[in-house]
Amino acid sequence: MVDREALVAEFCELVQIDSPSGGEGTIMAVLAANLEALGLATTRDQAGERIGAETGNLIAKLPATDPGRPVVMLNAHVDTVQPGQGIVPVVEEDTIRSAGETVLGADDKAGVAVILAAVRELLTAPFPHGEVQVVFTIAEEIGLYGAQYLDYSLLSPNYAFVLDGGAQVGEITAGAPSARKMTWKVHGVAAHAGVHPERGTNAIQLAAQAIAAMRLGRLDEETTANIGHIEGGLARNIVPDYCEVWGEARSHCEDKLEAQVAHMRECFRSAAAAYPEGRVEDQVETSYRRFRLSEDDEVVRVAMTAATNLGHTPVLKIGGGGSDANVFNERGIPAVICACGAQGAHSTAETAIISAMVSAVEWLVEAIRVSGQR
């Protein structure tokens, strides 16, 4: 039986420890101590040094009681988005929210709390299970850096459950898009706007022309694109000689993504061509790569079976965002994103649903019970 009061208490304790991306030192120390108190061996990897964060990823292993069964990795990220300092959790019946000034941090401390509670259940589980490898990652929110620099040589999972989903237990995210981020540095020529405007080349106008010609938003059911940031110019009376534009594109189809990125770059190129003195430098980076699992994949089958066994309706979903699961799949670890009781992530209206967190723990324990079951 999941101890609801203990789960709520632990969650509330965790969200009160500030853990912005890169500043996860304190919370990782607390989590390591909690896991060690349960008798698990813990290690910290070098990811923190690689990216200039306070600590690396935390890895803890619960030994198998039946080594013939799959090794299951459980993951949640411990960093939270802004505004996320000084979080005050408020418990109201079945809901936990922030006092209003900050996010709650259920993304993803609900996942962390669910994993800790599941490990506690497994310690006295009346059924055999394979090794459980707990991985708490850093710096997910700023670019999946913890997962990217995770020391995979310390791990050997057959598959992974990423507890970073919503509040509907049984909902399993089995696919996510690829994403590229783009930066354009637009160069024009500065001039006095009133005296010699003809000597100038307006970098902001050049960028505006490029963006106005661009296909953006939802392009088809698999593909989206956005221009999210623009800055440049010095004063009202100077023709601006520089501006910078940030954009992104995502697609579940690699070819469509390539085509969209090429289109966005071409818009800037042809806009620049219309301005003899204009020049554009662009930079394209891969943010993360797509994945798509199906019911043929063991991790999906196990996740769905566990949901069905507990009376939840399993729902396979394809997500529109990136998460550590993208990186795990890219590294050859089949990973799905599962519900952890969190709702309304990345806003001050974020909540955790206590009954959903309890169900998520029960589901996770069940998923480990049915792993490798014949």
Q: Provide the β-strand partners of residue 42.
A: 60
3-state secondary structure of 342: strand
How far apart are alpha carbons 133 and 284 in whole angstroms?
A: 35
CB of 346 to Zn ion, least distance (A): 9
**Of these residues, 107, 108, 140, 350, which one is catalytic?**
140
CB of 373 to Zn ion, least distance (A): 30
- Residue closer to Zn ion by CB (options 148, 205) is 148
Q: Per CB under 5 A, does 108 bind Zn ion?
A: yes
- Residue closer to Zn ion by CB (options 71, 81) is 81
Helices (H) and strands (E) in the chain, counts: 10, 20
CB of 83 to Zn ion, least distance (A): 16
* Sign of the C-alpha dihedral computed for residues 333, 142, 251 and 286 taken in this order: negative
140 labelled catalytic: yes
- Residue closer to Zn ion by CB (options 233, 320) is 320
Q: What is the DSSP letter of 139?
A: -
CB of 107 to Zn ion, least distance (A): 4
Among 107, 121, 171, 324, binds Zn ion (CB under 5 A): 107
Residue from 163, 156, 150 nearest 71 by CA = 156
Ranges within 263-322 binding Zn ion (CB under 5 A): none
How far apart are alpha carbons 336 and 72 in whole angstroms?
A: 12
H-helix segments, the chain: 4-15, 25-37, 47-51, 106-123, 145-148, 203-212, 254-273, 298-309, 324-330, 354-370
- Residue closer to Zn ion by CB (options 53, 210) is 53
Residue span binding Zn ion (CB under 5 A) among the ranges 64-72, 105-113, 205-213, 234-242: 105-113
Q: Per CB under 5 A, does 350 bind Zn ion?
A: no
Residues whose CB falls within 8 Å of the CB of residue 89, separated by 6 or more in sequence, listed in order: 11, 12, 15, 16, 96, 97, 98, 99, 104
**Of these residues, 10, 24, 45, 79, which one is catalytic?**
79
Ranges within 114-173 binding Zn ion (CB under 5 A): 164
How far apart are alpha carbons 103 and 220 in whole angstroms?
A: 32
Q: Phi, psi at residue 218, to the nearest 5°?
A: -85, 115
Tell me how crowded residue 107 is: count the other CB atoms within 10 A of its CB. Answer: 28
CB of 144 to Zn ion, least distance (A): 10
CB of 161 to Zn ion, least distance (A): 14
- Residue closer to Zn ion by CB (options 107, 131) is 107
Q: What is the DSSP letter of 23?
A: -
Q: Per CB under 5 A, does 79 bind Zn ion?
A: no
92 labelled catalytic: no
Are 19 and 27 contacting, i.e. CB atoms less than 8 angstroms apart?
yes
- Residue closer to Zn ion by CB (options 85, 373) is 85
Residue numbers of the site for Zn ion (CB under 5 A)?
Answer: 107-108, 164
Residues classed as catalytic: 79, 140
